[in-house]
């Protein structure tokens, strides 16, 4: 099956390799990955070539999409080498914070740019990507971006680019908060004297099982929470602590605000 057109992936790290895995399932015709790391070299396979540098891309290669998956801090150094594809390709940037304007400036030429924010559950095709298409992106290019970004999970589009900053804070970074919760549950189990293996097993399976229940249920998160919380029971006591002095709600509001501001700082 060769469902996808030729693609160029710049950066084959955690997110880039997860996206590539999703595209492989959709059927790759030809993809080139540019990444200097030894780890990324392992991504080579049927219809996938890995090169260490943009200079090694074959002269006649004409990708329909260029996916920018390097760190925002590497953008200034990496991007100018891809300006030559701006005539024919849609550029899809997943770099945190980097605006369409910044990507255009770093490329040095006008280009059709989609700014998108995936998350790491993409690695198991359970991600969510939120994307914004700039004006120069044609409907056909947007459809291709939708296919590529949707290969790793759900996709939603926004009409206002500024929304990508809080999106980055919430769904982009969200898995980290869930994993921290898992770590904290395990630590609390240890603090209560539970055997380490049991504390770990309980913390992991509680998060995994809760996510599966949320996925399988027609009820929303608040209803599922209420279903656990027996009146005058143990959970009610715990939730009262988490909400005392607005503790968790305040922490989350401030954490998301801080991450949103960091996304804005990374814009240039």
Ligand X SMILES: NC(=O)C1=CN([C@@H]2O[C@H](COP(=O)(O)OP(=O)(O)OC[C@H]3O[C@@H](n4cnc5c(N)ncnc54)[C@H](O)[C@@H]3O)[C@@H](O)[C@H]2O)C=CC1
Rounded to an integer, what distance in angstroms lies between the CA atom of residue 57 and that of residue 132? 28
Which of 48/155 has CB closer to ligand A1CAB? 155
Q: Rounded CA gap, 255 and 253, in Å?
A: 6
Residues 87-126 that bind ligand X (CB under 6 A): 94-96, 117-120
Q: What angle do CA 255, 260, 261 make, to 5 degrees?
A: 100
Closest by Cα among 88, 87, 111 to 100? 111
Paired sense of beta strands 90-93 and 112-117, if any: parallel
CB of 132 to ligand A1CAB, least distance (A): 15
Note whether 69 binds ligand X by CB under 6 A: yes
Q: Centre a 10 Å sphere on the Cβ of residue 2 and count the other Cβ atoms it contains.
A: 10
250 is in an annotated binding site: no
> Which residues contribute to the site for ligand A1CAB (CB under 6 A)?
96, 168, 172-173
DSSP label at residue 248: H
Q: Is 54 annotated as a binding residue?
A: no
Backbone angles phi, psi at 224, to 5 degrees: -65, -35
Contact pattern from residue 190 through residue 229 relative to ligand X, giving x for each residue in contact according to CB under 6 A and a dash for the rest: ----------------------------------------
Buried b (16+ CB within 10 A) or exposed e, 233-266: eeeeeeeeeeeeeeeeeeeeeeebeebbeebbeb
Closest distance to ligand A1CAB from the beta carbon of 141 (Å): 24
Taking CB under 6 A as the criterion, the residue among 3, 14, 109, 258 binding ligand X is 14
Q: Is position 123 annotated in a ligand binding site?
A: no
With respect to ligand A1CAB, which residue has the nearer C-beta, 22 or 173? 173
79 binds, among ligand X, ligand A1CAB, none (CB under 5 to 8 A by kind): none
- Give the nearest distance from C-beta 53 to ligand A1CAB in angstroms: 25
User: CA Rg, the chain, in Å?
Assistant: 21
Q: Which of 4, 7, 8, 12 binds ligand X (CB under 6 A)?
A: 12
Binding site for ligand X (CB under 6 A): 10-16, 34-37, 40, 69-72, 74, 77-78, 94-96, 117-120, 172
């Amino acid at each position: 099956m060769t469902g996808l057109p030729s693609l160029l992936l710049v950066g084959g790290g955690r997110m880039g390799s997860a996206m590539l895995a999703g595209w492989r399932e959709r059927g790759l015709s030809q993809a080139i990955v540019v990444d200097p790391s030894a780890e990324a070299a392992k991504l080579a396979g049927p219809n996938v070539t890995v090169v260490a540098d943009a200079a090694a891309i074959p002269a006649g290669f004409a990708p329909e999409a260029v996916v920018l998956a390097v760190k925002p801090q590497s953008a200034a150094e990496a991007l100018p080498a891809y300006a030559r594809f701006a005539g024919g390709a849609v550029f899809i940037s997943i770099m945190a914070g980097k605006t369409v304007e910044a990507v255009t400036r770093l490329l040095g030429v006008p280009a059709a740019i989609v700014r998108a924010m995936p998350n790491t559950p993409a690695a198991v095709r359970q991600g969510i990507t939120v994307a914004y298409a700039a004006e120069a992106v044609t409907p056909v290019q947007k459809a291709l971006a939708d296919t590529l970004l949707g290969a790793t999970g759900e996709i939603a589009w926004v009409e206002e680019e500024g929304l990508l900053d809080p999106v980055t804070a919430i769904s982009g970074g969200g898995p980290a908060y869930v994993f921290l919760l898992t770590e904290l549950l395990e630590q609390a189990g240890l603090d209560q004297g539970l055997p380490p293996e049991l504390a770990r097993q309980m913390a992991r399976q509680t998060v995994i099982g809760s996510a599966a229940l949320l996925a399988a249920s027609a009820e929303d998160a608040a209803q599922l929470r209420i279903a656990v919380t027996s009146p005058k029971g143990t959970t009610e006591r715990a939730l009262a602590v988490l909400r005392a002095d607005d503790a968790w709600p305040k922490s989350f509001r401030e954490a998301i605000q801080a991450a949103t501001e960091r996304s804005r700082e990374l814009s240039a």
